[in-house]
Amino acid sequence: DQRVVQFRIDPDNMKAPFKALDYLVPARELRQNRGFETVTHANPYAQHEGGLVVVSEKSLDKAGNIYAAIIEGPHKGVFTVKRNDDFDITDGAFLPDGDL
Position 66 scores a pLDDT of 93
Position 3 scores a pLDDT of 86
> What residue segments make up the domains of the chain, in order of their start?
1-8+28-100
Across the strands, what pairs with 1? none
> Is-contact 89 57, C-beta < 8 A?
yes
Position 47 scores a pLDDT of 82
b/e 68-91 (16+ beta carbons within 10 angstroms → b): bbbbbbeeeeebbeebeeeeebee
For 37, the 3-state DSSP assignment is strand
The CA R_g of the chain, rounded to the nearest whole Å, is 14
Tens-digit pLDDT profile for residues 39-66: 999 888 888 888 999 999 989 999 999 9
Could you tell me the pTM of the whole model?
Answer: 0.84
Residues (pLDDT < 70) of the chain are none
Nearest partner of 27 among 57, 52, 3, judged by Cα:
3
